[in-house]
Amino acid sequence: MNSDNLPQLTTEIDFEFDQQHIWHPYTSMTLPVSVTGVTSAKGCELTLSNGDTVIDGTSSWWACVHGYHHPDIIEAMQTQLSTLSHVMFGGLTHAPAINVCKRLVDVTSANLTKVFLADSGSISVEVAIKMAIQYWQGKQHVQVGGQQVRTQNKQRILTVKGGYHGDTFATMSICDPDNGMHTMFGDTLIKQLFAPTPTSAFGDTVSAQDTQALEAILQNHHQDIAAFIIEPIMQGAGGMHFYSAEYLKAVRALCDKYQVLLILDEIATGFGRTGKLFAYEHAGIEADILCLGKALTGGYISLAATMCTDEVALGISQSPAGVFMHGPTFMANPLACAAAEASIALLQKGNWQQQVNAIAQQMQQELEPARQFARVKDVRVLGAVGVIEMECAINISALQQAFIELGVWIRPFGHVIYITPPYIITSKQLTALTQAMKTIIKNMTIEQAAGNTH
Ligand code: PMP
């Protein structure tokens, strides 16, 4: 094919077209949206369309843990691209899928032996829910006169308030019911069960009230509940709460007691973010089903995984369908698998743990003084996650622009200004991020004192 026939590659940004035709996350198509053009990214820096560079405090929503344009991941993807960029996974298999799954089985707890490769975090949670329901269908059926008859109906999901698991229909049904993100879908959502948000902080002992409230629901409804799902240790998009590891231990014990599967959603926390490779390690527990995404490929391309135990897989095989009923078109995309394998290899051979510990220590020191400012409700750090929680809601677009002017890329939401930097961030770059957070909050306080609160 003549290269003249190829579309012209350009880095020029047509903001007007963007504004008129392209949706961004959680935006309107009729109100102006504040977006900034980006042309390239390297290490921990984004280059903007006006030529400025900003230090990235987001890892592009927890994903780019090795920073941008890492040579190992680029090379793995380029090599893969030159042989097989995509092929269907029905009836076919390939080395990139096998290689990444070997690593996943290797780095997660020993009981997780089966891997389903999906294409986004939300879908990996959908898959987990479907696995749990099909598992109980397998467990609950008996043969009567040559026919399969269901003995129980375990199809509901139990979760905690304050959680976030995605934007698809089943995942919306288990997100916080009160935070307004999905309330407009009201009656169309499956009615799930919600226990109170765990109240004891990370490092504290578990509150008896929390576990009693959870147990009361399990006692009353366990015959209907297929699985309990939770983000281990850290509730992310629901407000960045870090809760007691003992609560998670209690959850595991209660799930066992009431015969409910435990699904851990490690889409945000997985691959080192909380200081352990997986957040469940803080509690020393194992999941029946584990959801992974975001940093799985180091943030280079979309891929997610749902892992489960032999027992869960066996239950699914015994269900009336006999097979697991899910099979996305882009399942196990070879390019994504190659990126994921390279990313996990980097974690396995690298010093991510020292990097994350150093980030945690530095953030603790540098963010703590923010408590002095009015309207700051809390400052908390766990692993490579640093959070300043405000008493008031934040004007995201105004703050985002102010952050850019300070040379950093930070995207607050709700009441929180937070950073989740790439693990390779230098101490100087990290100081620029924490300094910008304090400057912004100080200015917010001054504006409030001057009566300019908008
Ligand atoms: N679960 C958790 C804990 C998440 O943080 C997210 C994404 N923010 C999701 C699920 C959904 O993942 P995705 O956006 O890739 O669909």
Q: Is 324 in the pocket of ligand 1 (CB under 6 A)?
A: no
Phi, psi of 127 (to 5 degrees): -60, -40
Strand 385-390 versus strand 53-56 pairing type: unpaired
> According to the annotation, is 294 in a ligand binding site?
yes
Is the predicted pLDDT of residue 157 greater than 80, yes or no? yes
**Quick one: 356 and 414 in the same domain?**
yes
**Quick one: 345 and 358 in the same domain?**
no
Q: Is 58 in the pocket of ligand 1 (CB under 6 A)?
A: no
Residue 37 belongs to domain with CATH number: 3.90.1150.10
The tokens describing 122, both together, are 């939300």
119 counts as catalytic = no
Q: Is 176 in the pocket of ligand 1 (CB under 6 A)?
A: no
26 counts as catalytic = yes
164 counts as catalytic = yes
Q: What's the mean pLDDT in 198-209?
A: 94
Q: Is 163 in the pocket of ligand 1 (CB under 6 A)?
A: no
Chain centre to alpha carbon of residue 297: 13
To the nearest 10 degrees (0 to 180), the angle between helices 334-349 and 71-81 is 150
Last residue of a domain, one of 323, 349, 375: 349
Residues 342-352: b if buried by 16+ CB within 10 A, e if exposed: bbbbbbeeeeb
Q: What is the pTM of this model?
A: 0.95
**Quick one: 402 and 432 in the same domain?**
yes
Q: What atom of ligand 1 comes closest to residue 123's alpha carbon?
A: 16
Q: Whose CA is nearest to atom 14 of ligand 1?
A: 121
Structure ipTM over 0.90, yes or no: yes
Neighbours of 210 (CB within 10 A): 22
Residue 345 is predicted with a pLDDT of 98
**Quick one: 268 and 285 in the same domain?**
yes
Q: Quick one: 448 exposed, middle or buried, by C-beta within 10 A (0-12, 13-18, 19+)?
A: middle
Is the predicted pLDDT of residue 143 greater than 70, yes or no? no
List pLDDT tens digits, range 268-279.
999 999 999 999
18 counts as catalytic = no
The tokens describing 288, both together, are 């029946």
**Quick one: 178 and 200 in the same domain?**
yes
Is the four-CA dihedral 79, 83, 86, 89 of positive or negative sign? negative
For residue 63, CA distances in Å to 120, 195, 293, 417 come to: 12, 29, 8, 18
Residues spanned by the domain of 18: 3-69+351-447
Residue 238 CA, ligand 1 centroid: distance in Å? 11
**Mean pLDDT of all residues in the chain?**
94
> According to the annotation, is 265 in a ligand binding site?
yes
Q: What's the mean pLDDT in 323-346?
A: 98
Residue 256 CA, ligand 1 centroid: distance in Å? 26
**How many structural domains compose the chain?**
2
The tokens describing 77, both together, are 């993807």
**Quick one: 159 and 103 in the same domain?**
yes
**Quick one: 48 and 65 in the same domain?**
yes
List pLDDT tens digits, range 17-55.
999 999 999 999 999 888 999 999 999 999 999 999 999
Q: Whose CA is nearest to atom 2 of ligand 1?
A: 165
pLDDT band at 452 (very low <50, low <70, confident <90, very high): very low
Contacts of 83 (CB under 8 A, 6+ apart): none
pLDDT band at 453 (very low <50, low <70, confident <90, very high): very low
Q: Is 166 in the pocket of ligand 1 (CB under 6 A)?
A: yes
Q: Which one of 122, 271, 306, 416 would you pick to mutate in the ligand 1 pocket, going by the greatest count of ligand atoms within 8 A of its CB? A: 122
Give CA–CA dist 32/50, Å, rounded: 20
Give CA–CA dist 347/277, Å, rounded: 9
